[in-house]
Each structure stands twice: as C-alpha cells, then as structure tokens.
C-alpha cells in the first residue's frame, strides 16, 4: 500500500457504517452506529478524522468506486486548552504502514489551527503499539486511573502539552473586570 493513496479527511454521517466496522474489528467494546451518530450530532460530541484508501484507478469506471475507510481517530475538542483523544484505530491488515501517523499528523495540525495547546488520552498499559505511537509523538505519562477498563486494567493518562497560552478568562470582556 502506498501512503499517497490515502486520503485523510473529517468524517461525515455517510461514514458511520464503516466507522462502526473499524470499531468492531479493533476494540472489545466498540461504539455502535447509533453511538457514533449521537457523538456526531451532539455539539459537545467526539469528532472523527478518517483515513480513506483511494481506489486503484483501473480504466474508466462507470460508477465511482466504493470508498474504503481503513483507520480513524476520534477526539473531543475542549477549547481553549485541551483535545481529548477517544480512540485511534487502523484495520489490522493496514497496520505498521504509517496510517496512524497520518491521522496523528492531521489531529496535531487541527490542534495547531485551533490554537489548542494540550492533547490528552487514556491507554492500556498492555497496549504496546499504542504506547509506542503516542511516545513517538511526544506524549508523556502523567498519571493513572485505577481499574479504568472494566475494573480490570488501569489506564495510563498521557499528555502532549504545547506552550502555555495567556489566559483570557471565561469570555471576559472589559465590563466583566469589576465583578
Ligand atoms: C495503535 C494503532 C492505531 C497503530 O496504527 P498503525 O497504523 O499500525 O501505526 P503506524 O504504522 O502509523 O505507526 C506509527 C508509530 O507507532 C508505533 N507503532 C505502531 N504499531 C507498533 C507496533 N506494533 N509495535 C511497536 N510500535 C508500533 C511506532 O512508533 C510507529 O512508528 P515507526 O513506524 O516509525 O516505528 C493500531 O495498532 C491499532 O489500531 N491498534 C488497535 C486499536 C488500539 O489499540 N488503539 C489505541 C487505543 S488507545
């Protein structure tokens, strides 16, 4: 697989079925299509970035070839300071080829664009591939949640902190300053 054939883009409701398929193939407690839809529809819900494999162009196809999603990252955007990553997932047969790296680059570019400095996540201590991915991108362990995964496994809390910004207050304006 060539990375040039991968399109990284924001997900839409048209992607719910394939997002749910990725969830099922990658996680023991996958989000259902209904749960993904609810996240997308909620103003405070998670947003998804997806990796789509561009179909090989073999002659002039009568119809557009079906798109295939091979990876995704979900995250909650909590401006002005934080983005919380929900899940990173790449379909098993497409792993170790840089797809999660592309998704991470896109997420970091979004954080930069929005001026959000810090990114946090939880990960299982047993998840060596994910720990290696996050370490590669500068995430550091800052704590643990005991029994976070069904009371059976702790979560490592990791942060990637950007430079501190000046605190502008909760929508503070000039007339707020006398309160
Ligand atoms: C974690 C996961 C998203 C990585 O996806 P991927 O597309 O294979 O990752 P990439 O190929 O982009 O690798 C990026 C970096 O991650 C690390 N990495 C990824 N998989 C790894 C593995 N199996 N072993 C060691 N390091 C690994 C490496 O540092 C790699 O950089 P390198 O290629 O320069 O060595 C994928 O393994 C996955 O979907 N796992 C199941 C779902 C999951 O556990 N998600 C995380 C939940 S918190």
pLDDT at 177: 46
Give the Å distance between the CA of 44 and the centre of ligand 1: 28
- Per the confidence metrics, is the pTM higher than 0.85? yes
Give the Å distance between the CA of 105 and the centre of ligand 1: 13
Residue 44 domain flag: yes
Element of type H or E holding 130: helix 128-136
Residue 86 domain flag: yes
Q: Which residue has the tokens 């990553």?
A: 85
Q: What is the CATH number of the domain that holds 39?
A: 3.40.630.30
Contacts of 168 (CB under 8 A, 6+ apart): 80
Residue 11 domain flag: yes
Overall domain count for the chain: 1
Q: Which position has the higher pLDDT, 23 or 178?
A: 23
What domain range is 143 assigned to?
3-55+64-165
Residue 16 domain flag: yes
Mean pLDDT of 40-68: 82
Each residue's pLDDT tens digit, 75-132:
999 999 999 999 999 999 999 999 999 999 999 999 999 999 999 999 999 999 999 9
For residue 143 and ligand 1, the question of a CB distance below 6 A is answered with no
The pLDDT of residue 174 is above 50: no
Residue 178 domain flag: no
Nearest partner of 19 among 91, 93, 120, judged by Cα = 91
């Amino acid at each position: 697989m060539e990375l040039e054939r991968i399109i990284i883009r924001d997900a839409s409701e048209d992607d719910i079925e394939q997002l749910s398929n990725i969830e099922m193939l990658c996680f023991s407690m996958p989000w259902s299509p209904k749960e993904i839809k609810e996240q997308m529809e909620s103003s405070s819900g998670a947003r998804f970035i997806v990796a789509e494999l561009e179909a090989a162009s073999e002659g002039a196809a009568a119809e557009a070839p079906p798109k295939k999603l091979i990876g995704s990252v979900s995250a909650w955007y909590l401006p002005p300071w934080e983005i919380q990553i929900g899940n990173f997932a790449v379909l098993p047969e497409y792993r170790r080829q840089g797809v999660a790296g592309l998704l991470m680059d896109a997420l970091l570019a979004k954080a930069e664009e929005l001026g959000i400095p810090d990114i946090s996540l939880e990960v299982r201590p047993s998840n060596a591939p994910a720990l290696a991915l996050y370490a590669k991108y500068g995430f550091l362990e800052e704590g643990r949640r005991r029994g976070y995964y069904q009371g059976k496994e702790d979560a490592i809390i990791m942060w990637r902190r950007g430079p501190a910004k000046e605190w502008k207050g909760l929508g503070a304006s000039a007339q707020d300053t006398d309160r």
